[in-house]
Amino acid sequence: MSSVHKSGFVAIIGRPNVGKSTLLNRIVRQKIAIMSDKAQTTRNKIQGVYTTPEAQIVFIDTPGIHKPKHRLGDFMVETAYSALREVDAVLFMVSAEQPRGRGDDFIIERLKNSQAPVYLIINKIDTIHPDKLFGIIEDYRQQMDFKEVVPISATEGNNVEKLLEVIEGEMPEGPQYYPEDQVTDHPEYFIVSELIREKVLQLTREEVPHSVAVVVEDMKRDEYDKVHIQATIIVERSSQKGILIGKGGLMMKDIGIKARKDIENLLGNKVYLELWVKVQKNWRDKQKYLQDYGYRDMDY
């Protein structure tokens, strides 16, 4: 039996809404990346840590690559591309439900310059007839020479263990960077703010979701080990604030109840959650607010 310990970093790249965050949560067996049916849900790089006795792999979930419309969009796309630098492998994830599009071709052109091996991960195979899979694989293989093609269902878990075995085999010899029980490199308050934002994405429609940021102002435990959290939801217009609060405050109450449940699962403690809504016009295009709200890696 080999005593060599392996470790490395793996970037998960793809168009918006192909299931990158779902895969990351499946790998670490805990919800650390938020999920939504709306595109561009992930805004920062979110690192999930997968540990076995023989290896430790740090998976980096990236924002979906899209055509930016504001400075926040620029930040998201640059964040995704920066994850390609200095990783040991790249997982290019596509959806079996969607034909290859211009967005996929755009990413493939960038991936051809990758120093790390690129794996094609075809997600959502549970939603198509198995006979269609061969044609999808052949189509992508004609575009680029992938190290390997792994069809999976991140939602159902199909073939995810196989994917992990393949990736572990690719990792170089290296140390264990994180304690074995740590599943993410992000502090608790970041995950808490993301879980609150997820509920806003799930419960609101139209222009609200993409205009929302969440800042955890305070987070502390009392003598009974109950966690008290104060958080502010930022929107760009007064009309959005009205939608978020809802008639008689019902929308805000619903967001709070659903977010508190997920936060309690994350922290393993009872939670008291206070939410406020604040209007900050055009925050997505203003450098100061992007930095204040946690989007700090921009370099202009």
Q: State mean pLDDT over 49-63.
A: 87
Name the CATH superfamily housing domain 188-292: K homology (KH) domain (3.30.300.20)
Domain borders along the chain are 6-170, 188-292
Does 167 carry a binding-site annotation?
no
Does 65 carry a binding-site annotation?
yes
Q: How many CB atoms neighbour CB 130 within 10 A? A: 8
34/174: higher pLDDT: 174
pLDDT band of residue 290 (cuts 50, 70, 90) is low
Does 270 carry a binding-site annotation?
no
Phi, psi of 255 (to 5 degrees): -60, -45
Does 126 carry a binding-site annotation?
yes
Does 73 carry a binding-site annotation?
no
Does 20 carry a binding-site annotation?
yes
202 is written with which tokens?
């799930």
Within the chain, what is the greatest distance between any pair of CA atoms?
Answer: 64
Does 62 carry a binding-site annotation?
yes
Q: How many CB atoms neighbour CB 44 within 10 A? A: 19
Does 63 carry a binding-site annotation?
yes
Does 159 carry a binding-site annotation?
no
pTM score above 0.85 = no
Does 261 carry a binding-site annotation?
no
| 152-161: pLDDT as tens digits | 999 999 999 9
| 78-135: pLDDT as tens digits | 665 665 667 899 999 999 999 999 889 988 988 888 889 999 999 999 999 999 999 9
Q: Tally the residues of the chain.
A: 300
Percent of the chain exceeding pLDDT 70 equals 79
Ranking 129-133, 196-200, 205-209, 261-265 by mean pLDDT, the lowest is 205-209
Does 103 carry a binding-site annotation?
no
pLDDT band of residue 64 (cuts 50, 70, 90) is low
- Among 60-64, 177-181, 236-240, the range with the most confident prediction by mean pLDDT is 236-240
Percent of the chain exceeding pLDDT 90 equals 39
H or E, element range at 94: strand 89-95
pLDDT at 10: 92
Phi, psi of 22 (to 5 degrees): -60, -40
Does 268 carry a binding-site annotation?
no
Does 265 carry a binding-site annotation?
no
pLDDT band of residue 286 (cuts 50, 70, 90) is low
Does 17 carry a binding-site annotation?
yes
**Two domains, one topology: 6-170 and 188-292:** no
Whole-number mean pLDDT of the chain? 82
Indicate whether 174 pLDDT > 60: yes
pLDDT at 259: 93
Q: How many CB atoms neighbour CB 225 within 10 A? A: 10
Indicate whether 143 pLDDT > 90: yes
DSSP-assigned letters across all residues of 121-161: EEE-GGGS-GGGHHHHHHHHHTT---SEEEE--TTT-TTHH
Give strand pairing partners of 119: 91, 148
Does 64 carry a binding-site annotation?
yes
| 176-187: pLDDT as tens digits | 888 887 787 666
pLDDT at 284: 72
Domain 6-170 top-level CATH class: alpha beta
Indicate whether 250 pLDDT > 60: yes
